[in-house]
Structure 1
């Protein structure tokens, strides 16, 4: 079966592996994702069926940083899942960059939220309500 996605996986760096993994265990769990690969002291990969989102120490052993203008969006299966993602993120130490809600400038079907994880990476959960899609 051909994958509908153009991405296989992506990785983000962290300077505090245990804090980052605890955060993503809580937040990605609201979307049905879990650790697919665990590399103690180095990081882990999250996904539903295979490793798609890696959180780890940088391979060059330098300090992890964030990229201005980059963010990572996760699919949610409902508006309630977006809301749960946001609440879990806030409880786990995220900084809000946009509470859950519609973003009509992205399209009538878009519902999402934005937060910064404890390392400063911008992440998003989004639900695309196809019943509201413009034809």
Structure 2
């Protein structure tokens, strides 16, 4: 029996108007979370740890890509250090800060994360959920 993919989504795609620049940005940032390019086609690249879960691509309809208001994409970090590594890599690669690394008690005490805007304005998050803290809070 093969191992089942643990993801709940097949994939997420964001559009880009500057594919080469977007590819260079994500190639520089995602390794901080153990994520790499796993599949590519002309004008599109997919990233993942094992499966192609996050696509960056030119829109198929030929119209300009735009940033979705209210949309953001969150990546799992394995620990707080990865959150900081992701943030530092993103800022160095041209992202802007939309919330520096730190706890966000409003999201739950075990949450620790950061938010950046990629060079085209997409809101990207790296988050660590401290399972040990969660168990302590819930008395497990």
TM-score category (smaller protein)? over 0.9
| Other-structure match for 1:61 | 62
How many angstroms does 1:126 deviate by? 0.2
- Over aligned residue pairs, what C-alpha RMSD do you find? 1.0
| Other-structure match for 2:98 | 97
How many angstroms does 1:44 deviate by? 0.4
Q: Which has the larger radius of gyration?
A: 2
| Other-structure match for 2:28 | 26
Moved over 4 A (4+): none
Q: Distance in 2 between matches of 1:70 and 1:78?
A: 24
Q: Distance in 2 between matches of 1:5 and 1:52?
A: 9
**Corresponding residue SS for 1:123:** strand
| Other-structure match for 1:36 | 38
How many angstroms does 1:6 deviate by? 1.9
Gaps of 5+ in 2: none
1:102-113 matches, within 5 Å, as: 102-113=103-114
Q: How many residues align?
A: 134
**Corresponding residue SS for 1:24:** helix
Gaps of 5+ in 1: none
TM-score (norm: length of structure 1): 0.95
How many angstroms does 1:131 deviate by? 1.5
TM-score (norm: length of structure 2): 0.92
How many angstroms does 1:77 deviate by? 0.4
Q: Distance in 2 between matches of 1:67 and 1:4?
A: 27
